[in-house]
Structure 1
Amino acid sequence: MSDKSTPRTTSEPAPASGPALHPVSTAELHQVAHGEHGNPHGVLGPHPHDGGVTVRVLRPLASRVVVRWSDGSGTSGEAELAHEHEGIWAGVIALPDVPDYRVAVSYGPDEHVVDDPYRFLPTLGEMDLHLINEGRHELLWTVLGARVHRYPGALGPVTGTSFAVWAPSARAIRIKADFNSWDGREHPMRQLGTSGVWELFVPDVGAGTSYKYTILGPDGQWREKADPMARWAEKPADTASRVFESGYTWNDDVWLEARARRAPVASPMSIYEMHLGSWKKHPDGRYWSWAELAEELPAYVAGLGFTHVELMPVMQHPFGGSWGYHVTSYFAPDARFGDPDGFRLLVDRLHQAGVGVILDWVPGHFATDEWALARFDGTPLYEDPNPQRGWHKEWGSHIFNFGRREVRNFLYANALYWLEEFHADGLRVDGVASMLYLDYAREPGEWTPNIHGGHENLEAVQFLQEMNATVYKRVPGITTIAEESTSWPGVTRPTSADGLGFGFKWNMGWMHDTLDYLAREPVHRAYHHGEMTFSLVYAWSENYVLPISHDEVVHGKGSLLRKMPGDRWQQLANLRAYLGFMWAHPGKQLLFMGAELGQESEWAESRELDWWLLDHPEHRGVQALVRDLNATYVDSPALWARDHEPEGFTWIDANDAGRNVFSFVRRGGDADLVCVSNFAAVPHDDYRLGLPAAGVWDEVLNTDAETYSGSGVGNLGSVTAVEGEWSGQPAHATLVVPPLATVWLRRRH
């Protein structure tokens, strides 16, 4: 910081008839010239003194510097500046008040007229700084990062960019960018009081500018860092941040108005999980752009009847093989696809097609790249300084310091950013279990208990509750979904009832149990019947999503189709039967891309899906089934309106292990729906099934239908139930249950 105890100046004394130059010590000038001054605005820029205005500018390579001014009343003039110290030039404007001015800088014979960054007031107010320090600035992205501003002036309007960054332990920060030829000496930033926020408004800098911060840490080392709040980033492998100003006009008002009135838990939700970079690729392996995806993806997803897409992380990440789970720029959509407005276009088009957008979000850990968040100001700023809490052994990444309020603010403001700025309809929060437990993936002796002696991460719990409470308060109709694989109580209980406050939780137990069951040959399934029924013991302890996600079709696990036993016909039949069972089971459903094609190979981000499979009728049959499942699901409130209520489900027969059959009723709306799944390789003729009422029951879906490339075994479209109790139901019918198939029945009115 500056030392003004014994001012010394190298300035020439002003003439007796004019104002004197504001004196600054050589030591302080030296600090400014070397980028080590915490408040360069205290030296540079305009400073009223002795009836005039002293102006200092930092132009290390200039040969001549002149200030040209206008006071707004028609009076103008210029003042020659003299070189004072190591690239600092100084002079006096003979006016009592600071006028509008520009700086004419000569480098040899060439003159360049530029504006002075050091004549502008801070772009953050005292309330902003207070909220940042309290960890309560919900709109953090509106004050930090790079933001384009416009100001009027006597010499014409000024457009520029305000750069603001939180780095409380930094001794000094410079901006190096393409506008200063990546030489940060001319653009040192100022620290705003004791807030830890550093700021500089740079005139004539706009959208598209690439920049980095050069940060002097407490250890005396300079570090180049990307902006944690950058809204755009360079395309990897380049690592700079980029200035962005959105010009997008949204056209999804109808969608947002309807969403605000909707309760997700009592609405249909069929989710198509996607990795955008490998859904489709150009022949040379390039990603499709946001615009190209916007042209094709909405029609495809809506055509299959999915209500939502869930996008694996779209936040900027350097390594494509991480699938987006090692983030470096939390506020920047992936530049591999284009600019942020391109992503807005994709979301908008999906909404216009009637498809919601859920974003995969990773607040539990972050990438280790030295140019990003790690030791940002020369200290563990974003990461927990305790390696027992700050390092993720399993994933090789840093863990956020959930005990620091400014870090929690950074994260929940980031959640709001994607929901508000990009109109996302929900966030699927990755790795919640790893956040909740201090001993997650740690051996005894590698973790320290909390203040109560337990293994719960109390600070992470506080963050998750803060995040959920904040986003539900500010953005009506959205949802948050926890990837949480343990028995932590109250994941979807409201924060007002001491829950974590999520809208839904992935049902990992259902996924593991059912896939284990399906992997067995039908002849052995009778001995594992409970794996398909156990989920109904706890189905209403939380609000669940049934996930068949990307994690189940990578790393040698094989595709969903290849998990099934038997020959190719049996594999496809098992797959179709399973999807029919899944869609009818209580809970919302999520299916990873490719399963709707009957993808044979497991997923890899380096190649697109096997679209050529649709040349084969049996794979077109799987796709047609998914389309019909979704259409019938959305039109059947019994399958979703009471997902969260035990009264919305009744077993007909949960114990028919000898025939590998499961039958149950779903209730809701004005028509019950009955599901019968047969996971035996043979049909069951004359199968007596209890039903909720007598009358004609239409076969609204049969996964063994010939249109899906099944064997065509069925009931000619309907069965007739007669009075007479069976399996606890007041009526019964006799039907044919196809092999390796699921049948849905609905009573005809």
Structure 2
Amino acid sequence: MLESSKEVLEAEQRFLTGENFYVQHFLGVHKNENGYVFRVWAPHAQQVYLVGDFNDWDESLPMEKREKSGVWELATSLAEEGQLYKFLVQQANGRKIMKIDPFAVRFEERPGTAAVIYTIPEKKWHDNLWRGRQKKTQTLKRPMNIYEVHASSWKHDESGQPYTFKELEEELIPYVKEMDYTHIEFLPLMEHPLGASWGYQLTGFFALSSYYGTPVEFRDFVDSCHKNNIGVFVDWVPAHFCVNEDTLPYYDGTPTFEYEDPNRAHNIRWGTICFDLGKPQVQSFLISSALFWLDVYHLDGMRVDAVTSMLYLDYDEGPWQPNHEGGNRNFEGFYFLQKLNAVIKLAFPQTVMMAEESSSETQITGMIESGALGFDYKWNMGWMNDVLRFYEMDPVFRKDNFHLLTFSFMYMMNEHYILPFSHDEVVHGKKSLMHKMWGDRYKQFAQLRNMYTFMMTHPGKKILFMGSEWGQFLEWKYNEGLEWVDLEDELNNKMQHFTAKLNSLYKDERSLWELEDTAETVELIDADNTAESVLTFIRKSKTKRDFLIIALNLTPVERQDFAIGVPYPGSYQEVLNTEKIEFGGTWTKNNSRCQSIDQPFKQFNQQIQTVLPALGALIIKPEEIQMK
């Protein structure tokens, strides 16, 4: 709440220049000593009325315009906490239309769209220890294994209703802890009118969707996550917004939040409206939204959705105009994203900023001063597409397509990557991860274990969509709970156990994340064995004795006496065999300890020999080695 007219004037000026990053304290609804003050930005409106439960939704409360900024305001003693309200906007052409408050922090439940007069109460947080630890070390130097969740379809109660955050606190947090994930990432939690959009077509950029519970419940959830050493990320969508007429589009009858050019304003592919990312007021709006979520809810980071669409003028399906240099770069989007990351890192240096971005023409991660966008991580969509294509393939053809697995080692240091098996890959007829795998059901589980092992041992942070941890066969349905009944099946149950075991190994083995930002983190042993379709490589830590050898057999043929080059003489022991019976395979015990022999293998002077299970993966660790 702004206390004085001077503060209001300063907030107004910063809003106009794109430098008010807490603009929700100026716009929206705020309690004062005589009631509430309402403000809304509609610069070209002829008139704006405040309407709501307090005046029977009539035109008895006209607002006054602040000419400098085009902000309309009204102070009233009639309004009370919990009442519904909207703004009746007489647009530039004289048409009157009900509009939502873009800065509301609470909305009524669907299908209603009115804002609620709501003051988020103060909270005493209990996560100082967690937040202190995050400030001490960079995320690049820590394990990050993310469980991606759609809040309203993780689990439903007996009546078929989705869990609220109060219920998720009781069940999701213990589950994530038991499965040994380090973070939870939610699909967008902001207010949206249509569940089928999964939250990616927003209307309330400052409001937790009432469908998921209350702000109090969500803050308690985050607090509880932190007390259990679990980080919380949320997807956020600054590229575009919902097309519904009573929300943000053409708010005052003219392009307000969107681009002037209708070809740039309308996203044909998604049926949405694109923000004018070069407009100062829009920059204040969006950056304030991001900081609001980080500040009020103590989030550990955000995944920025649809970054590619903000970077390139020709991304959509409609006509487009080149920029002033004759190219396809969207300079407004590029500089907005740099500004967003700079402001967030200044306010909350420990925040993890992630980009969902699918091109290779722009440096996404790294220092802004070097020309990058300033994100901490980029989703590696190329790795994901190549890997899924490979594992869907009949093994007969894998020897001719081995580059799909090995190519990523050529560019793995170009960005700081997250390896995603996300919600986008298990819907719209793409099949679940389990269903994508080649072969019969037994082979599908074997390959799923193999693929997860590759993900967990390949450089990059990890993300896996809910239900994939036990190999749910059906595609994800946004309006139903996961198929928890699957866990009554022995193979699904063992698959879940395997994922938990793999997650635990990832957290415990420093070689899988300690040097991840350097090329020294990985050394290929043999990436050319296309004939047998076996990939072997080493992951390293700062301590030379501490490394892991990974062997992936990508065919349904067991490899006896298989040679693997090793850097030092000594003994080596399996720490993971994906074909163990406890994981759903047939092996009752691990391979015996291997003793190296003095026989060259590529760049190595020593080698070990072991048995590679059909469609299996091994992780091998040095036990007693001799180092010069």
Aligned partner of 2:98 among 224, 247, 253? 224
Is residue 545 of structure 1 aligned with residue 428 of structure 2? no
The alpha-carbon distance between structure 1 residues 719 and 184, as it changes in their structure 2 partners (threshold 3 A), is farther
Deviates more, 1:507-516 or 1:484-493: 484-493
**Structure 2 matches for 1:202-601, cutoff 5 A?**
202-203=76-77, 205-247=79-121, 248-442=123-317, 446-601=319-474
The residue matched to 2:369 in structure 1 has which SS? helix
- Asked whether the equivalents of residues 250 and 256 of structure 2 are also in contact (C-alpha less than 8 Å), the reply is yes
CA displacement, residues 278-330 of structure 1 (integer Å, 9 cap, x when unaligned): 11012333221111111111111111111111100101000001101110111
One of 128, 133, 137 as aligned partner of 2:20 = 137
- The offset of 1:621, in angstroms, is 1.2
Matched, 1:690 2:573: no
Q: Which amino acid aligns with 2:496?
A: Q
Contact map agreement 2:85 2:115 (CA 8 A) in 1:
yes
Q: After superposition, what is the alpha-carbon deviation per residue over 1:71-97, rounded to whole angstroms, capped at 9, x for unaligned?
A: xxxxxxxxxxxxxxxxxxxxxxxxxxx
Q: Secondary structure at the match of 1:331?
A: strand
Alignment check: 8 A CA contact 1:693 1:723 kept: no
Residue matched to 1:652: 525
Moved more, 203-212 or 173-182: 203-212
Q: CA deviation at 1:748?
A: 2.2
Q: What is the TM-score of this pair, normalised by structure 1?
A: 0.81
Deviations 1:662-696 (A, max 9, x none): 11011113311111111110211101111122222
Distance 1:280 1:404 in 2: 41
For 2:596, what is the secondary structure of its paired residue?
strand
Kindly provide the CA deviation profile for residues 188-209 of structure 1, in whole angstroms up to 9, marking residues without a partner as x: 2222341222222323644322
**How much has 1:162 moved relative to structure 2?**
2.2
Q: Is 2:208–2:215's contact at 8 Å kept on the other side of the alignment?
A: yes
Contact residue 186 and residue 233 of structure 2 kept, 8 A: yes
The offset of 1:724, in angstroms, is 4.1
Structure 2 gap ranges (5+): none
Structure 2: how far apart are the matches of 1:262 and 1:200? 47
Query: Which residue is equivalent to 2:485?
Result: 612
Q: Deviations along 1:602-622, whole A, 9 cap, x unmatched?
A: 111121111011111211111
How many residues are paired up? 619
Instruction: Indicate yes or no: 2:619 matched with 1:736.
Output: no
The CA deviation at 1:720 is: 2.5
Percent identity at matched positions? 37
1:121-200 aligned within 5 A: 125-149=8-32, 151=33, 158=34, 160-185=35-60, 187-200=61-74
1:664 corresponding residue in structure 2? 537
Greater relative contact order (Cα < 8 A, sep 6+): 2
Distance 2:461 2:249 in 1: 37
Deviation at 1:337, TM superposition (A): 1.8
CA distance in 1, matches of 2:36, 2:177: 40
Q: Is the 8 A contact 1:172 1:215 kept in 2?
A: yes
CA distance in 2, matches of 1:624, 1:717: 23
Given that residues 172 and 189 in structure 1 are in contact (C-alpha distance below 8 angstroms), is that contact kept between their aligned partners in structure 2?
Answer: yes
The alpha carbon displacement at 1:122 in A equals 5.6
Alignment partners' CA distance in 2, 1:684 and 1:714: 17
CA shift, 1:717, in A, is 5.6
Distance in 1, Cα, partners of 2:188 & 2:460: 24
Which amino acid in the other structure matches residue 250 of structure 2?
R
Deviations 1:426-471 (A, max 9, x none): 111111111111011335xx11011111111000001111101111
For structure 1, list consecutive stretches of 5 or more residues without a partner in the other structure. Answer: 1-119, 152-157
Distance 1:378-1:264 versus aligned 2 partners, 3 A rule: same
The equivalent residue for 1:628 is: 501
Equivalent residue of 1:658, what SS? Answer: coil
Contact between 2:20 and 2:288, CA under 8 Å: does it hold in 1? Answer: yes
CA distance in 1, matches of 2:53, 2:230: 40
Separation (CA, whole Å) in 2 of partners of 1:356 and 1:478: 11
CA distance 1:699–1:204, shift in 2 (3 Å): farther
Distance 2:305 2:37 in 1: 33
Q: Given that residues 714 and 736 in structure 1 are in contact (C-alpha distance below 8 angstroms), is that contact kept between their aligned partners in structure 2?
A: no
1:278 counterpart SS class? coil
Name the SS for the 2:82 alignment partner.
coil
Contact in 2 for aligned 1:313/1:359 (Cα 8 Å): yes
CA distance in 1, matches of 2:346, 2:4: 34
Which shows bigger deviation, 246-255 or 409-418?
246-255
SS at match of 1:131: helix
Deviation, structure 1 residue 131: 0.5
Task: Give the drift of 1:718.
Answer: 3.2
TM-score under structure 2 normalisation?
0.96
**Which letter maps to 2:66?**
L
The structural deviation recorded for 1:167 is 1.6
For 1:378-414, what per-residue CA distance to the aligned partner results, in whole angstroms no more than 9, with x for missing partners?
2110011211211101001101111211112211111
Question: How far off is 1:266 after superposition?
Answer: 2.2
Q: Give 1:373 deviation, angstroms.
A: 0.2
Q: Give secondary structure in 2 for the equivalent of 1:729.
A: coil
Mean Cα displacement is larger for which, 547-556 or 634-643? 634-643
Contact (CA 8 Å) 2:235, 2:303: kept in 1 or not?
yes
From the CA coordinates, give the structure whose radius of gyration is larger: 1
Provide closer, same or farther for how the CA distance between residues 206 and 636 of structure 1 changes in structure 2, counting only shifts above 3 A: farther
Matches of 2:445 and 2:200, distance apart in 1: 32
